[in-house]
Structure 1
Amino acid sequence: MNKLYVLAVISIIISAILTPIVKRFAIKIKAIDIPKDNRRIHKKPIPLLGGLAIYFSFILTLILKTGELSRSEIGIIIGATIIVIGGFLDDKFDIRPWQKLLIQIASALILVVFGVRILLITNPISSSELYISVGMLSIPFTIMWVVGITNALNLIDGLDGLAAGVAFISAITIFIIALLNTRAEAAVLTSILAGAILGFLPYNFNPASIFMGDTGAQLLGFLLAAISMEGAIKSAAAFSIVVPILALGIPIYDTLFAMIRRKINGKPIMQADKGHLHHRLLDMGLTQRQAVIIMYLISAVLGSFAILAMQISTQRAYFLLTMIMIVLIIIAWKFGFFEHRE
């Protein structure tokens, strides 16, 4: 445990030192988010690329840890590097959606090549046969999971400190679950990631002096997706669906509701709107800080359910997830989350 705390502190320090440097770099190369439409909450230009500080903090701390890097850690580093390059290009040049998707798929395939993949899924039906082998579906399942979570984190990055804070809470949740499962590698990765986010967050919390940009939002989504396959499990190779879906609840449900909302209203799935949870909270008259803190609390509650799900039987965990999803859908319907807003 002491080693994990040390790694987290090192990661915090590196991230906190690098963030102002990255900010100056972003300004120098003119990687700046200039508010051009009414979807943007901020009113003045803010430098992007804050994700670079998180990336370098994560990578450097991981390399500095004692012992050789494992095969899966090398895969995560390579995949994260590809994601960051893609995010950087998007922040600077605003690349097309299909180009971003190709980069995300390439990063997911790197994980597959290095053995970070979904091989077994916990069985929601039988108590005698605990796991279901996905066989040839291992590769598409892994790609869909990684690409889905990567984009989900990117979609909620709409308020100062929101995506970073939610990612931090998710990382802490997976860290606790990894400890409970004695998954040392996942515990190391999440402690480092949590530290990297925490060092960056003071600069990104409202009023933000720097945004993480696609560079950071996609990186956090990718890393959480990858690490959850390593740590949110009940055996060395099985993927417990319930745990990461709850641990990463805010971005997953917000993205799911956005897709349903756009489908119901006849809008393209990828078309941006102002129907996300943070937009709704602002429409209720909350300030940015209040909206972000509420979403932090929701994320923490879902994280607590994820930890609970890890302690009960698989069938009960699936039942818990089902009940939570039903409650969330009813709340979303009642408060108009499926109504389109430009």
Structure 2
Amino acid sequence: MEYLILAFFSSLLVTLVLIRYQHLHEKISHDHDLSGPQKFHTHAVPRIGGIGIFLALLISGVVALNFSNPEKGTLLLQLSACALPTFFIGLTEDLTKKIGVKIRLLATASSALLSGYALNVWVTQIQIPGIDWLLSIAIIAIIFTVIAVTGLANAYNIIDGFNGLASMIAIISLLAIGYVAFKANDPILASIALIVIGAISGFFIWNYPRGLIFLGDGGAYLIGFLIATLSILLVNRNPSVSPWFALLVNAYPIFETLFTIWRRKVHQGKNPGLPDGAHFHSLIYRRMIRWAEVSESQATASFAKNARTSPYLWLLSSLAVFPAIIWWQTTWILQCFALLFCVSYVWVYGAIVKFKTPSLFKFFK
């Protein structure tokens, strides 16, 4: 717990400094583009929140390595080092606005390769006959792992659309990973998960509800990469944990990405890499605008609706995470819940598109 606290306050203070002195870096750090289809903020905000998270991880790793737990410190610093390419390229995009999505994905793929070779983070089986045989071939396992890790990192960038959305989804997933690591008698990995939670929470305080600073691409890619890597590590280090736990605990960002690719590429015939205003969280926001009280001022209404949007998606993500926590050893049950989540997601999405919002969502009005 002491490292969770250290990571939390390190991130909290670094992020506070970035916000307090934003006038010194606003020309390069602020998100000045307010017109994109996926944009829902009303004024320029710094998008370099990932810096606080990354530095908090480094500080915690150095302290653990030198003062109390070398094994924990070494693993945390190795994770941070492997995450450096994806974090750096994402942060470069936040500062320059000139890094294309292909370059960002290539950098994230290099981080996935680094973690694979440094930490043995390879997906070698998912308990599906035939596919497991393919994954027993080294090159296929490497390619599959790189795609999986890169895909989840990019998924967190996709869902990072509202205050507190991606960061709380990450915290929920990490709580599940930490809990199952503890149940599987892997205290080192459980502790690492708590440290990452602390680092993200320090940022979350300033991001939700008022949105004083954003994760940016650097922060979103960083936490997505860390969660992907920790999910695979948990399964590899603990054979009692089903590979489907790793999938179900990340079901929302994974399926949001796959559904977006299908919707734009197949259904609409468009480039899935372009900015999009029809993500699940975007539709939730627009439905909330429809219900908004007209008596609110424009600025207050915009802030309030942004803040109210994220809890819907926290709930959606939790619907997959809770069964993953309960049945983390039982593959067939996890597979059933994964299928149920996908069906439920499509049903709710379709209902919102057709302006027939499910009554469960109206409860939060």
Would you say the 8 A contact 1:33–1:45 is kept in 2?
Answer: yes
Give the deviation of 1:258 after TM superposition: 0.9
Question: Hey, what's the Cα distance between the residues in 2 that align with 1:38 and 1:109?
Answer: 33
Q: Which segment drifts farther, 5-14 or 324-333?
A: 324-333
With normalisation by structure 1, the TM-score equals 0.88
Confirm or deny that 1:319 pairs with 2:319.
no
Question: Hey, what's the Cα distance between the residues in 2 that align with 1:297 and 1:334?
Answer: 17
Question: Hey, what's the Cα distance between the residues in 2 that align with 1:252 and 1:317?
Answer: 15
Superposed, which structure 2 residues align to 1:1-342 within 5 Å?
A: 5-24=1-20, 27-29=23-25, 30=27, 31-39=29-37, 40-65=39-64, 66-69=68-71, 72-94=75-97, 95-124=99-128, 133-231=136-234, 233=235, 236=238, 240-263=242-265, 264-285=267-288, 287-311=305-329, 313-336=330-353
1:77-110 alpha-carbon deviations (Å, 9 max, x no partner): 2122222211221001121222212211111111
Would you say the 8 A contact 1:121–1:134 is kept in 2?
Answer: no
Would you say the 8 A contact 1:153–1:220 is kept in 2?
Answer: yes
| Aligned AA (1:36) | L
Give the deviation of 1:28 after TM superposition: 2.0
SS at match of 1:285: helix
SS at match of 1:284: helix
Would you say the 8 A contact 1:159–1:292 is kept in 2?
Answer: yes
Q: Which segment drifts farther, 314-323 or 253-262?
A: 314-323
Question: Hey, what's the Cα distance between the residues in 2 that align with 1:151 and 1:174?
Answer: 20
With normalisation by structure 2, the TM-score equals 0.83
Q: Which segment drifts farther, 219-228 or 284-293?
A: 284-293
1:155-179 alpha-carbon deviations (Å, 9 max, x no partner): 1111111111111111111111111
Distance verdict in 2 for CA 1:334–1:78, change over 3 Å: same
Question: Hey, what's the Cα distance between the residues in 1 that align with 2:247 and 2:136?
Answer: 19
Q: Which segment drifts farther, 324-333 or 196-205?
A: 324-333
Question: Hey, what's the Cα distance between the residues in 2 that align with 1:9 and 1:276?
Answer: 34
Question: Hey, what's the Cα distance between the residues in 1 that align with 2:46 and 2:87?
Answer: 16
Give the deviation of 1:52 after TM superposition: 0.4
Q: Which segment drifts farther, 89-98 or 148-157?
A: 89-98
Distance verdict in 2 for CA 1:131–1:188, change over 3 Å: farther
Give the deviation of 1:224 after TM superposition: 0.6
Distance verdict in 2 for CA 1:283–1:227, change over 3 Å: same
SS at match of 2:125: strand
Question: Hey, what's the Cα distance between the residues in 1 that align with 2:126 and 2:77?
Answer: 27
Would you say the 8 A contact 2:283–2:353 is kept in 1?
Answer: no
Give the deviation of 1:120 after TM superposition: 2.7
SS at match of 1:59: helix
Q: Give identity over the alignment, percent.
A: 24
Would you say the 8 A contact 2:7–2:199 is kept in 1?
Answer: yes
SS at match of 2:309: helix
Question: Hey, what's the Cα distance between the residues in 1 that align with 2:81 and 2:236?
Answer: 26
1:306-339 alpha-carbon deviations (Å, 9 max, x no partner): 112304x2223223322332332333334339xx
Would you say the 8 A contact 2:112–2:150 is kept in 1?
Answer: yes
Q: Which segment drifts farther, 296-305 or 202-211?
A: 296-305
Would you say the 8 A contact 1:172–1:191 is kept in 2?
Answer: yes
1:201-231 alpha-carbon deviations (Å, 9 max, x no partner): 1110121111111111111001111111112
The Cα RMSD (Å) is 2.5
Gaps (5+ residues) in structure 2? 290-304, 355-365
Q: Which segment drifts farther, 247-256 or 320-329?
A: 320-329
Give the deviation of 1:74 after TM superposition: 4.3
Gaps (5+ residues) in structure 1? 338-342
Give the structure 2 partner of residue 340 of structure 1.
none
